[in-house]
Amino acid sequence: MINDLRPPAMEPAELIWRDGVPESARFGDVYFSRDDGLAETRYVFIERNGLPGRFAKLDRNSHFVIAETGFGTGLNFLATWAEWLAQRPDDQDHAILHFISVERYPLALADLEKALESWPGLQPLARELIENYPPLIKGTHRLVLGGGAIRLTLCFGDVLDAWNELEFVADAWFLDGFAPSLNPDMWLEKAIHQIRAHSQPGTTLATFTSVGRVRRALADEGFEMAKVPGFGRKREMLTGRLPTSEEVTAPTVGTDPIVIIGAGIAGAALARNLAERGVPVVLADQASGPGAGASGNDQGALYVKLGVEYNDQTELAATALCFSQRFYQRWQGEFWYPCGLLQLAATDQEQDRQKRFLERSSYPENLLAAVSPTEASRIAGIPVQCEGLWFPGSGWLQPARACKTLIEHPLIRTIFGFKADTLRWTDNHWVIQASDGRSLRAAKVVVAAGHESTALAPVPKGQSLRLKPIRGQVTRIPADGCRFPDVVICGTKYLNPAYDGSAITGATFDLRNDNPEPTPEGHQENLDQLRELLPSINISEHIQAEHLEGRVAFRCATHDYQPVAGPCPDNNEISRTGVYLLTGFGSKGLVWAPLLAEYLADRICQQPACLNTRLARRVETGRLYRNQLTV
Ligand code: SAM
């Protein structure tokens, strides 16, 4: 089975257990010391990098970055997290520990759980890691833990690719990739060169090995290396430090409020993210409350369509889906209902697409699995005619409620009824002028106003932004009108499970229609396509399009149907930085918002980015600028 694995599935580590200690069958080495793994981790990595003192004296609102080669069982990570808590017990100081680790052969979840049972003292932290451990797919996974104080960037892939593709500067390194004689790849000069490239004066490193070749290679890169006594029976180990004459301190996040325009799911997710990092936010919207636009429906599915090939676009979508499933966990039952989602192959075209998708890629079953019509029917609780893909960790949300809940935070101030008209650089500030004469000033502004962002984002003369509104009408089906599924069903249209006496289906996709009111034709289209997708739900004859309720909203799509998150380009005419865009989510805002808010907050706060450079390039803002003369 493992030989059949295609990307993005990762080959899991094959473990041999001896006396409760896991050993790698591939490398023939232990993951941690047989004597006392936790004590060894503390001695080698935590103390020899001087972390207790460095953690303790870190400024409030600042951050510390540790990079590790070989995540393995996560023991080093958990011990470091525990040390962070010991040194910084105040959970309101907004300092963040970024821990970046790479793993070529990740442990299967069950193995991770078993390995971590050995450390009762680390238990609550181990549980949180296990609950957030990503499905084993290639790529960069950001885990937000400990209420946001701990941000683990876990790269499943080879060490060289990871260090090539990530942007960060480490304060300390844990070099822990099995002995160089057993795993020479991890200790190649190229890899050591990358370690230097991601370091700065004052960066330290520690490794259990004392091999001369490793010491010389690190010294050649400029590290002042020292041999010090090893742990337990090991005679020696290595430490290193990039010399500096002065102390380097990490930037702290500013305490000036950032203005976000737009209180839909994009703006709300970003406001929450920044606030939890200690950044005050002013969130302004023209409507009288949050989620008034495309994020205002009563039900929305957490859904993406993954591409047949595992290219950058598919990787971005899969990363966003996994991140959003983790992100919403904390609001389960409040506005998030992870009942699972079936993506049916309802047309010949989709059947062919899913067939090719399954031939070319492998995914772990906790992310998605192919299901027959019989299995799909059992899962859905209603007869289903076609096969499809089952996403057990997906489900549906109440988007309007999500927006409302996300912005409830003491560091978020909301201003509703504020219709921003212009954004100009005046007197060393960005000034946002509203139509009623009010204005807001800030050094940093994020435009998250859906298709209305076009009017606000700074665009040089003669250019425009390639954003367009796409009308979507949803229809509410009363509970006595049909048999509802137990899970979300997506095909040509989607249907949610019933909640509070009805369920939402939709949505239409009207490119050239700007009618803000629901129409009977729109409801009819939704009903007809639902009948075709799920004949067995028996939509009752008394359901008539002209009597149904619904809602219309305008999604914001980019020319390439990919989202956008990042700073607006700095060019001759707009020579001031500090304006960012977060929009273009189309009908997938619930999936895109959590990850891209995390990414944009990383950039605004100058912290390690949760997207690798390939994926960051896909969401950059520059591609949206079009010369109006060329079409
Ligand atoms: N730090 C880990 C812990 O706390 O449990 C133990 C790490 S273990 C000694 C070394 C790890 O490096 C293994 O999990 C192994 O799969 C991983 N590894 C080996 N070669 C690698 C490579 N080329 N790229 C990324 N990871 C690799």
Distance 158 CA to ligand 1 centre (A): 10
Pocket test for ligand 1, best of 164, 178, 182, 207 (most atoms within 8 A of CB): 178
Residue 465: enclosing H or E segment and its boundaries?
A: strand 463-465
The Cα–Cα gap between 142 and 146 comes to 13
Looking at the CA of residue 159, tell me the nearest atom of ligand 1: 24
Q: Is 72 in the pocket of ligand 1 (CB under 6 A)?
A: yes
**What average pLDDT does the segment 542-559 reach?**
92
Q: What are phi and psi of 302, to 5 degrees?
A: -90, 95
The SS3 of residue 324 is helix
**Predicted pLDDT at 238:** 98
User: Over the chain, what is the mean pLDDT?
Assistant: 94
Distance 417 CA to ligand 1 centre (A): 53
- The tokens describing 398, both together, are 């109440």
Distance 160 CA to ligand 1 centre (A): 13
pLDDT tens digits, 88-128: 988 788 999 999 999 999 999 999 999 999 999 999 999 99
**Predicted pLDDT at 206:** 98
Distance 268 CA to ligand 1 centre (A): 38
Please check whether residue 503 is in contact with residue 484, taking contact to mean a CB–CB distance below 8 angstroms.
Answer: yes
Domain 36-241, what fold?
Answer: Rossmann fold (3.40.50)
pLDDT tens digits, 402-443: 999 999 999 999 999 999 999 998 888 999 999 999 999 999
Cis check for the bond before 345: say yes or no (omega within 30 of 0).
no
pLDDT tens digits, 452-470: 998 898 888 888 899 999 9
Region of 225 on the Ramachandran plot (φ > 0 left; ψ -120 to 50 alpha; else beta): beta
- Note the helical H segments in 26-74: 37-41, 51-56
Side chain identity, residue 284: A
Residue 264 has pLDDT above 70, yes or no: yes
pLDDT tens digits, 148-160: 999 999 999 999 9
Residue 631 has pLDDT above 70, yes or no: no
Beta strands in 190-298 (DSSP E): 199-207, 224-229, 236-241, 258-261, 281-285
CATH code reported for the domain at 258-293+400-462+561-625: 3.50.50.60
Quick one: which of 354, 403, 402, 343 has its CA closest to 376?
343
Residue nearest to atom 16 of ligand 1 (CA): 105
Residue 8 vs residue 1, higher pLDDT: 8
Q: Is 73 in the pocket of ligand 1 (CB under 6 A)?
A: yes
The SS3 of residue 118 is coil
Residue ranges, comma separated, of all CATH 3.30.9.10 domains in the chain are 341-392+468-558
Residue ranges, comma separated, of all CATH 3.50.50.60 domains in the chain are 258-293+400-462+561-625
Residue nearest to atom 10 of ligand 1 (CA): 177
Residue 189 has pLDDT above 70, yes or no: yes
Distance 159 CA to ligand 1 centre (A): 9
Residue 461 neighbours by CB distance under 10 Å: 6
Residue nearest to atom 14 of ligand 1 (CA): 72
Residue 52 vs residue 480, higher pLDDT: 52
Distance 10 CA to ligand 1 centre (A): 14
**Predicted pLDDT at 3:** 55
Q: Is 23 in the pocket of ligand 1 (CB under 6 A)?
A: no
Confidence of residue 35 (pLDDT cuts 50, 70, 90): confident
**Predicted pLDDT at 163:** 97
Distance 71 CA to ligand 1 centre (A): 5
Q: What are the DSSP calls for 80-106, one per residue?
A: HHHHHHHH---TTS--EEEEEEEESSP
Residue nearest to atom 21 of ligand 1 (CA): 104
Query: Into which CATH architecture does domain 341-392+468-558 fall?
Result: 2-Layer Sandwich (3.30)
Pocket test for ligand 1, best of 46, 69, 152 (most atoms within 8 A of CB): 69
Q: Is 12 in the pocket of ligand 1 (CB under 6 A)?
A: no
**What average pLDDT does the segment 243-266 reach?**
84
pLDDT tens digits, 482-505: 889 999 999 989 999 999 999 999
Share of the chain above pLDDT 70, in %: 97
Looking at the CA of residue 30, tell me the nearest atom of ligand 1: 9
Residue 259 vs residue 482, higher pLDDT: 259
Q: Is 129 in the pocket of ligand 1 (CB under 6 A)?
A: no
Residues 6 or more apart whose Cβ sits within 8 Å of residue 555: 294, 450, 451, 469, 470, 472, 585, 586, 587, 589
**What average pLDDT does the segment 285-296 reach?**
92
Residue nearest to atom 2 of ligand 1 (CA): 72
**What average pLDDT does the segment 357-375 reach?**
97
**What average pLDDT does the segment 374-397 reach?**
97
**Predicted pLDDT at 1:** 42
